Amino acid sequence: MKILFVIGSLELGGKERQSIELIKGLVANGFDCELLLLKNAILYPEIKEIGCQLHVLDKQSISKFKLFKEVGRVIKQVKPDIVQSWDFQSSLFVCFYTWLNKIPFVNYSIRYGKKINALSKTGLLAQITFLFSDYVLANSLTGLEAHGLKVSQKNRAIYNGYDFKRAKLNKEAEAIKRELNIEDGFVIGMVGNFLDAKDHKTIIMATQELLKSRKDITVVFIGNGSKLNEAKALIANQNSGHYRFLNNITAVEDYINIFDIHCLICNTIGHAEGISNAIMEGMAMGKPVVATDSGGNKEIVVDGKTGFIVEPFNIHQLTERLTLLLNDHSLRKSQGEAGRLRIQTEFSLDKLTHNFIELYSSIATKTDLPNLAKVTESINNRT
């Protein structure tokens, strides 16, 4: 079976990482995968090493009409059995051609949990792509609800998957701590760019509350973005030595490994998470996770078991939960172990791959493909 995936680019981001993870899993199971990029930006060089043919366009240098025609040319050239998109822009560019050529179209563009106004521009464009889609997928149940969609044969949630090969460390914890000049004490960390979607202010204020009564913590932020300097300005001079700001980190698990507590604190005004890759990374590394009650966070973090869910912008509650974990080694250990097990059973790369193989198998069974018998036999042999 040949699957053509379409995505805006391979810049650093959640859907980009997940597209590569899925392609790796499918190629390992013998699937023929090709990837169409609408923008010439590849920050995941491993895509060139996993047996996936690339088609690269450059939306920045050509008109939208020409880009639309180029997408059609690639689809005609590839002759895929299935086309799968990863974002709404890609869905808009491919949905006409898949409908015209009767190619099954899997629309996997819902990757957030923010409720969408159906009459807004985004909502209307999304509805258009849904009409032309054979399947509409979200990476969380919250994402489906955001568009007013109920789980059905057509509308489904397929969770992100984590590849545990990424958890193999390149550097030992002590080496990372020396690099960051962390001598002892606890490390509280957060992975997330300094953009509107994240709430670095609340975690900075909460950790500064902790620093009023204890000096045994270091806070590590991994990410970049337009609000970085704004976040740094919140830190009092006397506390500056307790904070580390890192960016352009590729082996992020090496740094998460030194965390005692992993956080994802979100700005819920105008944004809600789908299934966060950052949360998966923290849980896979055996860390208790403290996350904002936002979007799909509650679908992955089990409050009180794998970490804690906290109210948006509640500095006091976040401070309390961090204090509870800092003061209880056994709780940190038990929640971290429970989190790792949850990723292994419900959010692994194998689980993601299996769910999509099941979906593709059902498409092959229901669709009058020219090579239907061959496709169905191939899928059955791989599963």
Q: DSSP labels for 236-265? A: -GGGGGGEEEE-S-S-HHHHHTT-SEEEE-
251 and 337 in a common domain: yes
With a threshold of 0.85, does the pTM exceed it? yes
Tell me the C-alpha distance between 268 and 78, whole Å.
41
Phi, psi of 267, rounded to the nearest 5 degrees: -90, 110
Percentage with pLDDT > 90 across the chain: 83
* pLDDT per residue as tens digits for the range 6-37: 999 998 788 998 999 999 999 999 999 999 99
370 and 308 in a common domain: no
* pLDDT per residue as tens digits for the range 218-270: 999 999 999 999 999 999 999 999 999 999 888 999 999 999 999 999 999 98
Domains of the chain: total = 2
Amino acid at 323: T
Of residues 10, 74, 83, 3, the one with CA closest to residue 42: 10
Amino acid at 29: N
178 and 313 in a common domain: yes
Tell me the C-alpha distance between 140 and 160, whole Å.
8
Phi, psi of 370, rounded to the nearest 5 degrees: -60, -35
Q: What is the pLDDT of residue 368?
A: 60
Q: Is the torsion defined by CA of 155, 371, 47, 345 positive or negative?
A: positive
* pLDDT per residue as tens digits for the range 65-108: 999 999 999 999 999 999 999 999 999 999 999 999 999 999 99
235 and 150 in a common domain: no
Q: What is the CATH number of the domain that holds 59?
A: 3.40.50.2000
Amino acid at 39: K
Q: Give the residue-averaged pLDDT of 170-176.
A: 95
174 and 148 in a common domain: no
Question: Where does the pLDDT of residue 376 fall: very low under 50, low under 70, confident under 90, or very high at 90 and above?
Answer: very low
96 and 33 in a common domain: yes
Q: What is the pLDDT of residue 372?
A: 42
Q: What is the pLDDT of residue 123?
A: 86
Tell me the C-alpha distance between 203 and 188, whole Å.
10
Q: Which residues pair with 33 in a beta bridge?
A: 3
Amino acid at 209: E
Q: Which domain holds residue 310?
A: 167-346
Q: What is the pLDDT of residue 340?
A: 98
373 and 246 in a common domain: no
301 and 280 in a common domain: yes
Q: Looking at 48-57, 106-115, 203-212, 364-373, which range is the least confident one?
A: 364-373
> Tokens for 213?
């009564």
Sequence length of the chain is 383
Q: What is the pLDDT of residue 136?
A: 97
196 and 97 in a common domain: no
Half-sphere exposure of 265 (CA within 13 A, CB side): 29
